[in-house]
Structure 1
Amino acid sequence: MSQTYTAPQPSLLKLAGVPYFLIAFIARLPFAMMVVGVLTVVVAARGSISLGGLTSAAVGLGTACFGPFLGAAADRFGQRVVLLVLAVSNGAMLVVFTVTVYGSAADALVLLTAVGIGATAPQVAPMSRSRLVTIIADRMPEAQRARTLSGTMAYESAADETVFVFGPFLVGVLASAIAPSAPLIGAAALTVLFVGAFALHPSGRDISLQRDTSGRAPSAVAELFRPQLLVVVLGILGVGLFFGAMLTSLTSFMADRGAPEQAGLLYGVMGIGSAVLALGVAWLPPSFSLRARWLVFSGILLAGSLLLGAVSSPGMMMLALGIMGIGIGPTLVTQYSFGAARSPLGRSTTVMTMLGSGVIVGQSIGAALTGELAESVGTGPALMLPVVAATIVFAPGLANWFLSRTRPRSVRVPV
């Protein structure tokens, strides 16, 4: 009796290739180093924490203003040409900023060049998500898409968590071992080399099959402003606010105890746990819907942040950070999954860049506000800002519960 041969189903790892994931991981490091690197070099060169915070916020401003347009350009013309231009431009801006800070230029010019860093930042993470979503939607059997998408968003978020923990650590090592300017020079070199490699990877040629031969999307720009998508952008902005506020208030907390350099180690307790749990999201049952995950995990984040009001020792801080780590990683995975599912046809990169911009903008604003509050009022009030940020993550999740009444049209996932 003859047996019917069933061809093995293609995996995303095989379709994209192992080198892709290695290049994409290293290429996102400079983005994670920029905000902290800018803060470090400004404080070292100009002696002003306040100016350092404003400069970090200026990087976020540049990203907020230009990031979504760069994503739209990548959707329209393909990522390769956009990323090659950005790799060179951003590498140059990092060097120009370093020279400007150490020169005699006015503070206003320092802020302007910081905006230029943010405006030219190659947002590899959202563009990587967009590439992988395109591969899943265009080249994988429909039966595999939902689970593969969930696993992909989990991996990407875990990679982001790892980079956002390791990036500030790498900045500290380079600044201490070499010079305060070393992190930005190193970020410039990584940008040119690895963002360039990411751009030249064969997947950089892909434009979604949802676009026509001239690159036009079948969906209108107005669809980017639907409430179902904007609520995700607001929620992920809250995550960025939390990252910036938590790291800055934690630094102030440890500085009060004479060990500010240990803030990064404590922060790693949250980051590592968050990354591990983000990967675990891929194994959650489909019956645990996305809208329920957002509420549950952001609720854990909010509950953990409320403990900050009672923290009086590094041990208690580690406990609070551990609880918050349980919530933040899976929440971020869920938000990106919603972003992928709700992307208008042919505008995946635009949406992913909007979400990526939300994280970095929130981080910049959170760091600037918390630093100013810690310096002028004290650590106690500064530790309340992560609570505010966690609330901003939770509230859109509550609104999303009622907005998630219809199923997405493209890559289907349980909502």
Structure 2
Amino acid sequence: MHMTPSAAPRPTSLIQAAGLSYFPIALVARLPFAMVVVGLLTLVVSARDSLALGGVTAAVTGLGTAMFGPLLGAAADRFGQRRVLLCAGLANSLLLVAIAWLAFAPVPDAAVLAAGFLIGASTPQVAPFSRSRLVGIIARAIDPARRDAVVSGTMAYESAADEIVFVFGPVIVGVLAATLDPVAPVLGAAALAVVFVSAFALHPSARVEAGIREGSPAPAPARELTRVAAPVVGALGMGLFFGTMLTSLTSFMADRGIAEQAGVVYGAMGLGSAALALGVAAFPARFTLGARWIVFAAILVAGTLVLPFVSSVVAMTLTLLVIGVGIGPTLVTQYSLAAHRSPAGRSSTVMTMLGSGIVVGQSASTAVAGIAAEYLGTDTALTLPFLAAVVVLLAGIVDAAIAPRRQVRFGN
């Protein structure tokens, strides 16, 4: 008598479904991007003896990432993450090696800027692709009754992972540049991209985001991406905040003769942000995503409101700790909402749209805040994070007003 094999049991956790090796690989694969902007700044300033050129190079790198990130996401949705990551990772590594030579070569500054832009354009979108990949695994492998909670916990972990690499990335750059050579961080990022971005691309979990197969449903029309307009605007607001906050804080610390310590004080905000981001998974279901966005964005607004009145480094550090409480949960909520509303077959595109929103906001606001600090003073520059926080809050309020009243469960 022929026996039909029983269906395989569902994995009990995302770690089991994705594989234990996935998480360390995906974490380290983010490091090259976290190292590149600061690494290029350090390299160009050392090679060309021009802080202005170094800053512009870092800016055009961010511009390239912002412009081409969503295109790489759309390519991954169509052709699969594996092909896109392998091609982008190889191109990015070769360009990093190229700029390490160009910076010292007798070529015009425009050649360095062009290389910086191409490096940004070819940056492997590891963080957005990881979010998209894990959301796909959850939809296929996790029990429907648990999917909402697992998505929320996953976005919390992903935001904390981003915080970790963007704290340690610049630290690694500083150590390599100080102990070896200013070229070392750039070549190190290239080597990490070859090894770990390739490992991330070739990991078995990449089959979840394998692109459009013959006979599979066509992806949703591009116009349906308007579903995630509010989270994208919210992410843009967060980018505006990051750029204005770091630049105005640097001006604040420079006024006290300790500009080099700005990164340490800024880290206080990351500490509060990462801790609360991880805590989002413990929030009760009745504390809805829309309510979370508004509550924590309001904390962000309240914290930034007092920045122009802060007069000591200790008070600034404490204020940034409070502000951090609002950042982590807000970012997690924006990505969770985007995951819930992502049109069919457009997950990688959506996640790269949010990531690009942050990069665009950060790049543009860094320049504006720098001009404000230089020509109008630190107090004026310290009002800009408040305006950025208001953008985040307003986007959350608009989203809550236009969102459907019925609860939409993930994966249904």
Matched residue, 1:344: 343
Residues 160 and 103 of structure 1, relative CA distance in 2, 3 Å threshold: same
Aligned to 1:68: 70
Residue 312 of structure 1: how far off its partner (Å): 1.4
Bigger mean CA offset, 322-331 vs 258-267: 258-267
* Separation (CA, whole Å) in 2 of partners of 1:189 and 1:94: 10
1:143 to 127, 142, 145: 145
8 Å CA contact retained: 2:153, 2:280: yes
Give 2:305's aligned residue.
306
What residue identity is the alignment partner of 1:213?
A: E
List gaps (5 residues or longer) in structure 2.
1-7
Is 1:189 the counterpart of 2:191? The answer is yes
Alignment of 1:5-404 (within 5 A): 10-207=12-209, 213=214, 217-224=218-225, 226=226, 228-404=227-403
1:294 to partner: Cα distance? 0.6
1:404 Cα deviation from its structure 2 partner: 1.5
Amino acid at match of 2:387: V
Question: 1:333 offset after TM fit, Å?
Answer: 0.1
Report Cα offsets for 1:240-284 as digits up to 9, x if no partner: 222222222222222222222211211111101110100000000
Query: Which residue identity lines up with residue 95 of structure 1 in the other structure?
Result: V
For 1:72-110, what per-residue CA distance to the aligned partner results, in whole angstroms no more than 9, with x for missing partners?
111111111110111111111122223222233222222
> What SS class does the counterpart of residue 25 from structure 2 fall into?
helix
Structure 1 residues 196, 408: CA separation in 2 closer, same or farther (over 3 Å shift)? farther
When residues 328 and 84 of structure 1 are mapped into structure 2, their CA distance, relative to the original with a 3 A threshold, is same
AA matched with 2:214:
T
- Alignment TM-score, normalising by the size of structure 2: 0.92
Q: Give percent identity, aligned residues only.
A: 57
| Preserved contact between residue 151 and residue 281 of structure 1 (Cα < 8 Å) | yes
Residue 10 of structure 1: SS of its match in structure 2?
Answer: coil
Instruction: Give 2:176's aligned amino acid.
Output: L
Distance 1:7 1:204, change over 3 A: closer
- SS in structure 1 at match of 2:21: helix
* 1:408 Cα deviation after fit: 7.5
1:350-395 Cα distance to aligned partner (Å, 9 max, x none): 1011111222222222323323433444333322222222122112
Residue 347 of structure 1, CA deviation: 0.8
- The answer as to whether partners of 1:134 and 1:208 remain within 8 angstroms in 2 is no
- Cα deviation per residue 1:290-328 (whole Å; 9 max; x = unaligned)? 111111111111111112101211101101101110000
- Checking the alignment, whether the CA contact within 8 Å between 1:50 and 1:372 is kept in structure 2 is no
Mark the CA change 1:104 to 1:159 in structure 2 (over 3 Å): closer, same or farther: same
TM-fit CA distance, 1:32: 1.5
| Counterparts of 2:383 and 2:54, CA distance in 1 | 21
Q: Structure 1 residues 181 and 134 mapped into 2: Cα distance closer, same or farther (>3 Å)? A: same
Q: What is the CA–CA distance in structure 2 between the aligned matches of 1:325 and 1:11, rounded to whole Å? A: 29
CA distance in 1, matches of 2:90, 2:11: 39
The separation in 1 between residues aligned to 2:259 and 2:366, in whole angstroms, is 15
Query: Which has the higher mean CA deviation after the structures are superposed, 189-198 or 361-370?
Result: 361-370
Q: Give 3-state SS (helix, strand or coil) of 2:285's partner.
A: coil
8 Å contact from structure 1 (residues 53, 371) kept in 2: no
**How many residue pairs get matched?**
405
Taking structure 1 as the reference length, the TM-score comes to 0.92
Instruction: Tell me how far apart the structure 1 counterparts of residues 183 and 380 of structure 2 sit (CA, whole Å).
Output: 31
Shift of 1:206: 2.2
CA contact (8 A) 1:232 1:339 kept: yes
Aligned-partner Cα distance in 1 for 2:373–2:9: 60
CA apart distance, 1:64: 2.0
Cα distance in 2 between the residues matched to 1:216 and 1:102: 51
- Kept after mapping to 2: 8 A contact 1:35/1:364: no
Per the alignment, residue 3 of structure 1 pairs with none
State the distance in 1 between where 2:109 and 2:129 align.
Answer: 33
> 8 Å contact 1:169–1:264 — kept in the other structure?
no
Alpha-carbon distance change, 311 to 180 in structure 1, aligned in 2, over 3 angstroms: farther
Contact 1:298–1:328 (Cα < 8 Å) also in 2: yes
Distance 1:412 1:160, change over 3 A: same
For the Cα contact (< 8 Å) 2:81–2:210, is it kept in 1? no
Distance 1:53 1:374, change over 3 A: farther
Aligned-residue Cα RMSD (Å) equals 2.1
- Between 193-202 and 385-394, report the one with greater CA deviation: 385-394
The residue type paired with residue 176 of structure 1 is A
Residues of 2 paired with 1:246 and 1:192: CA distance? 33
**Structure 1 unmatched ranges of 5 or more:** 1-5
Q: Which moved more, 1:174-183 or 1:390-399?
A: 174-183
What is the alpha-carbon distance in structure 2 between the residues aligned to residue 198 and residue 250 of structure 1? Answer: 35
Residue 195 of structure 1 aligns to a residue in which SS? helix
Q: Distance in 2 between matches of 1:60 and 1:253?
A: 24
Question: What is the rounded CA distance, in whole Å, between the counterparts of 1:214 and 1:34 in structure 2?
Answer: 40
